[in-house]
Amino acid sequence: MPTRPTLFEYAGGERAFLALAAAHHARCLADPELNHPFSHPGGHPQHVERLGAYWAEVLGGPPHFSRDCSDQSAVLRMHAGNGDMGDLGRRFVSCFVAAADDAHLPADPAFRDALKAYMEWAVEDVLGYSDEDSTVRAGLAMPHWDWDGLVRSGPGAAGDVQHLPGDEPGAR
């Protein structure tokens, strides 16, 4: 039985995730509400490249982000403590979904559903740390997402992969 490709492979690899990150960033800059957090001075000069590497790793690609950039705790810390975010999470997801079209990612409904489900989960995870006094534990593992949702690999996981349908955002 053929093995199903990872979401990373199905999307088209690293170039596809760089295109997705660039398209998403452009959409966020064009959004009247998201523009502010995406245009502030002091942003990392390789933000788009790092974002593409992060999404690629989470969705089944090589561990370039965690090897060369940072870890999940740092990602969450960067977004923590911002207070009430209003509808920014919904807008962020909408930009992501539209950016998949802009980046010419495969239009397969199952693939697009998996991408959207990941981003909805990721936004909820980040928003779980929005309280101004939120703290993020050190050493949080990178999330990994496949066609069926959030997975955890390693010792103790059935077949080395365990789906976590009830995972609570911010509680990993």
Average pLDDT over residues 6-26: 97
Residue spans per domain, the chain? 8-163
Q: How deeply is 117 buried, as exposed, middle or buried, from its count of CB atoms within 10 A (0-12, 13-18, 19+)? A: middle
Average pLDDT over residues 110-136: 89
How many angstroms separate the Cα of 118 from the Cα of each of 35, 40, 111, 149? 22, 26, 11, 7
Distance CA 126, CA 130 (A): 7
pLDDT on residue 71: 81
Question: For the segment 48-70, what is each residue's pLDDT rounded down to a tens digit?
Answer: 998 999 999 999 999 998 988 88
pLDDT on residue 72: 79
Fold classification of 8-163 (topology level):
Globin-like (1.10.490)
pTM of the full predicted structure?
Answer: 0.81
Chain center to CA of 73: 13
What's the mean per-residue pLDDT of the chain?
Answer: 82
Q: Are 95 and 32 in contact (CB under 8 A)?
A: no
Question: For the segment 161-171, what is each residue's pLDDT rounded down to a tens digit?
Answer: 343 444 444 44
| Residue 157 clears pLDDT 60, i.e. is over it | no
For the chain, what percent of residues have pLDDT higher than 70?
Answer: 76
